[in-house]
Amino acid sequence: MIVHFAGLGSMGLGMACTLARAGHTVHGTDLSPGRVDELRAAGGHALTAASDHADALVCVVLNADQTRSVLFGDDGLARRLRPGGVILSCATVTPAFAIEMEAQAVKAGLLYLDAPISGGAAKAADGKLSIMASGTAAAFDAAQPLLDVMAETVHRLGERAGPGSAMKAVNQLLAGTHIAAMAEALAFAASQNLDLARTVEVISASAGTSWMFENRAPHVIEADYAPRSSIDIWPKDLGIVQGIAEDAGLLLPVATAALAQFRAASAAGLGKEDDAALTKHIAGQSGIALPEKK
């Protein structure tokens, strides 16, 4: 398939390169030219005005505003799709926004798959993502050759846009609160003069563990805060969760507390660091020492 790819960040680049290596013709664009160069090295191409019209458009940008602009803005890429082409929209957005984008796609004679992703950069590069998808049977059929390459698991959640984004919000609620709990736990362990490497070893074999604890805690031990997923992702994603909950009349006290911590860490200048740096923010407020870079 000819695929246009918008957004070559930590997840998008791995997805695009995986498709290129699998034999699809991938034309990608990103605000960072270096990311396009990496796609070229994997067998892809830069997306330019001379690029052929595509069978599919994969959009892995930051948020709803970027999604709307990339798809249907003045220079929107949806117009570069062939009639009946499929959009795979992967950003974390509200269900209402996904429904709106599907309606615009249908009006333009296109298919739309609400297809948020989970798994991290490593799984994106290995084609082992979990994709929470909803859309028409025709949209799934059109996207299937790409889903087969990019995902280890595709969860079919409904026959219209919306449920995919709702399920991603559930995932982000848990992921964000688990990172916040990890940060508090490590700061608490440090306050008790426990060896943090030993703490991770013990907790990883105990009932209190989580995937986020096991994945993020080593970043703190190694004092490696290079962003795989940054602090600033979470005010956005947990903010989406909070907004959906408010519309439903639902209180989320734990998620709300985690959101407040991420916002505070961002305001303290940690926004561009790895989200494990929330531990620095929590420990620093009480003068608790954490491992330093060797």
**Annotated catalytic residue 293:** no
Question: Within the chain, which residue ranges are assigned CATH 3.40.50.720?
Answer: 2-160
pLDDT at 233: 95
Q: Exactly one of 107, 123, 168, 294 is catalytic; which is it?
A: 168
10: confidence class by pLDDT, cuts 50, 70, 90: confident
Question: Within the chain, which residue ranges are assigned CATH 1.10.1040.10?
Answer: 165-284
Please give the class, per CATH, of domain 2-160.
Answer: alpha beta
Contact present, 90 and 83 (Cβ < 8 Å):
no
Q: Is the pLDDT of residue 294 over 90?
A: no
- Structure tokens, 53: 């019209």
pLDDT at 293: 87
3-state helix, strand, coil in the chain (%, to 5): 55, 15, 30
Helix (H, G, I), strand (E, B) or coil at 121: helix
Over residues 202-244, the pLDDT tens digits come to 999 999 999 999 999 999 999 999 998 999 999 999 999 999 9
pLDDT at 90: 98
Indicate the helix (H) or strand (E) that contains 60: none
Q: What CATH topology corresponds to 165-284? A: N-(1-d-carboxylethyl)-l-norvaline Dehydrogenase; domain 2 (1.10.1040)
* Global pTM value: 0.95
Q: Is the pLDDT of residue 157 over 90?
A: yes
Indicate the helix (H) or strand (E) that contains 135: none
23: confidence class by pLDDT, cuts 50, 70, 90: very high
**For residues 157-165, average pLDDT:** 98
Over residues 48-60, the pLDDT tens digits come to 999 999 999 999 9
